[in-house]
A = this chain, B = another copy of it.
């Protein structure tokens, strides 16, 4: 036994890896996937300007990164029409969620989220001793009015709400979110996860000032900007709250080349336009493929498409295994009743073609699995 005496909270927590990464799945199966469509990564890749900026910055990697991300925050402030005091940069939305939960949640505190929403947020809440109130999806979408009502009932400190939603892919117009916030309790902060914001329709944008005290918005370079492995995200909010991150954050935690890459990515609006077009094409292709094989693609405001199998969780899980057997990594990250669906990330046309070709065998695998266990 180690001499380390864990805190009672730490002792109570499980040791876990919230998501098994595709590399681990590849090690278990003994061979790499040929299409990586399970983590909503953006296989169209980052802007060439961002790639060049990272490779150039690698030459100076002997230097720590700027702990206040000055240049990136200046550029983001110009992009959003706010000031750097509204912006904190962190190691992806995951890292920022950890800091936010640490700042606000301690034993006895409640947060509200949707049943089947982002597990990493729940991981952080449990990690700081908070209690999770989970509201079911309504009509396959996060139910913001009920989330807010539940927060009022439970004196919740935070509501987690993703727009567009992962894993369903749907979105709520920003105006509807703004209207719903009229009912938000004054002691409840809306954590608006906009990880897929760059890929959503324009009316998804929340039509409220960045420093609205009721909301903190989380953004990332992982999805639309195609830099998931760089680990750069940021939060936009009221300066009081943004400043508070300096109470707890790991100031020297960001990769220097990643910061340079994010700055370059932000400057390349043309590339983002290109990505949006590529993603739209892939979404349509995924819908066509799904239809051809008897599944239904749900509408998507993201770079992934949720495919309704019309069956149940056991079938969807078996279908994921069937695709894995064909070398295709996808996921089933849903809870019932949405667990009838599978989630497929958009990718280049050769990935889509591979998925199409594998569909019959994957479906046969799923049907065989179920008939064996029936």
Contacts and interface: CB of A to CB of B under 8 A. Distances in A.
Contacts of A109: 7
A248 B2 CA distance: 17
Contact of A67 (B9, B17, B240): B17
Interface in A99-140: 100, 102-106, 109, 120, 127
Contact of A248 (B55, B127, B240, B251): B127
A94 B256 CA distance: 15
B18 A251 contact: yes
A36 to B, nearest CB: 7
Interface in A234-251: 237-238, 240-241, 243-248, 250-251
Interface stretch (A58-66, A161-169, A287-295, A320-328): A58-66
A13 B247 contact: yes
Nearest to A91: B253
Nearest to A243: B15
Contacts of A253: 91-92, 94-95, 231, 253
A261 B44 CA distance: 23
A75 interface: no
A14 B247 contact: yes
Contacts of A255: 229-231, 255, 257-258
Given A1-B240, A7-B105, A70-B27, A46 B17 contact: no
A250 B4 contact: no
Nearest to A158: B4
Contacts of A14: 247
Given A70-B27, A246-B15, A4 B103 contact: yes
Interface string A15-54: 1111101011001000000001001011111100001001
- Which of the listed residues A44, A61, A91, A253 has the most CB atoms from chain B within 10 Å of its own CB? A61
Contacts of A228: 61-64, 256
Contacts of A350: none
Interface stretch (A185-193, A202-210, A363-371): A185-193
Given A94-B253, A248-B127, A70 B23 contact: yes
A39 B3 CA distance: 32
A37 B309 CA distance: 60
A187 B7 CA distance: 12
